[in-house]
Amino acid sequence: MAEKRQLTRRGRQRRDKLLAYATTRFAENGYHPTSVSDIVDGVGVGKGVFYWYFDSKDQLLEEILRDALRDLRTTQAAAIADATDPLQRLEAGIRASIRWSAANTDIIRLVNFGWSEESFADVLRRGRDIVVTDTAHLIEQAVDLGQIMEGDPVMMASAIRAVIDQLGQEYALGNGDVDPEMVETAVRMCLRGLRG
C-alpha cells in the first residue's frame, strides 16, 4: 500500500528524509537497537508518519538495500561505458565501485548486517548477484582475450567485490572522499592478481 501511494513533492521529501535518517541511525546504532521511535523522533515527526510512508521497519531496510544496490549498479554501468577494452572496463568499474563504497560507508555496514538475517539476505542475494554477474562477464571477456588468467569468473568477481567493500569502507576519509593510495592498492591487488 504505502509502496504505491502517489506522493506530492513535499511527501517525497519527507519520505527521503526518513529514509536518509534511518540509514544513518541503522548504520551507527545497528538495525535492531534503532527503534521506529528513534527515527521519527530524530526527524521530528509523529510515529504514524513512518507507517504512512513505509509498510514496516523491515520493509524500510529492504528498500534501503535494494535502492543502494541499484544505485551501485547504475554507477558502475556509467563508469565503464566509455572504455571498450574489457580490462580497462574492469579497472574503471573497480575505481567507480571503490568511490561509491567510500561514499556509502553507511550502506556497506547495513549490507553487512543484512547478510546476517535471512529475509534481508534474500534481497541482497538478488541485488549482489547482478553486480557480481556484471563483473564476471567482463572477466570472461578478458579471459577470452587472454588478458587475464583462467579461473572461475564468478569467484574472481566475488573476491574483487570483497576487496572493494572492505577497503572502501575502511579507508573512507569521510564526506565521500577516498585515500587515492588506497584506490591504487585495491586496483593493483585485483588486476595484478588476475593478469596471466
Residues near DNA, by CB under 7 A: 5-8, 10-11, 14, 32-37, 45-53, 56-58
Residue 52 dihedral angles phi and psi, to the nearest 5°: -75, -35
| Residue closer to DNA, measured from CB, 21 or 51 | 51
Residue 114 dihedral angles phi and psi, to the nearest 5°: -55, -35
Q: How far is the CB of 27 from DNA (least distance, A)?
A: 15
What would the x/- binding string for its own copies be over residues 133 to 152, using CB under 8 A? ----------------x-xx
Question: Is-contact 39 25, C-beta < 8 A?
Answer: yes
**Sequence-separated (6 or more) residues with CB below 8 Å from residue 190:** 90, 94, 159, 160, 163, 164
Would you count residue 47 as binding its own copies (CB under 8 A)?
no
| Residue closer to its own copies, measured from CB, 83 or 159 | 159
- How far is the C-alpha of 40 from the C-alpha of 173, rounded, in Å? 29
| Residue closer to DNA, measured from CB, 16 or 184 | 16
Instruction: Write out the three cell numbers for 146.
Output: 587472454
- How far is the C-alpha of 21 from the C-alpha of 16, rounded, in Å? 8
The interface partner of residue 57, options being DNA, its own copies, none and the CB cut-off 5 to 8 Å by kind, is DNA
- How far is the C-alpha of 60 from the C-alpha of 18, rounded, in Å? 10
Would you count residue 70 as binding its own copies (CB under 8 A)?
no
Q: How far is the CB of 3 from DNA (least distance, A)?
A: 12
Instruction: Write out the three cell numbers for 10.
Output: 513535499
| Residue closer to DNA, measured from CB, 1 or 146 | 1
Relative orientation angle of helices 86-103 and 153-170, to the nearest 10 degrees: 40
Q: Which of residues 93-132 bind its own copies (CB under 8 A)?
A: 109-110, 112-113, 115-118
Chain residues in the site for its own copies (CB under 8 A): 27-33, 109-110, 112-113, 115-118, 149, 151-152, 155-156, 158-159, 161-163, 165-167, 170-171, 181-182, 185-186, 188-195
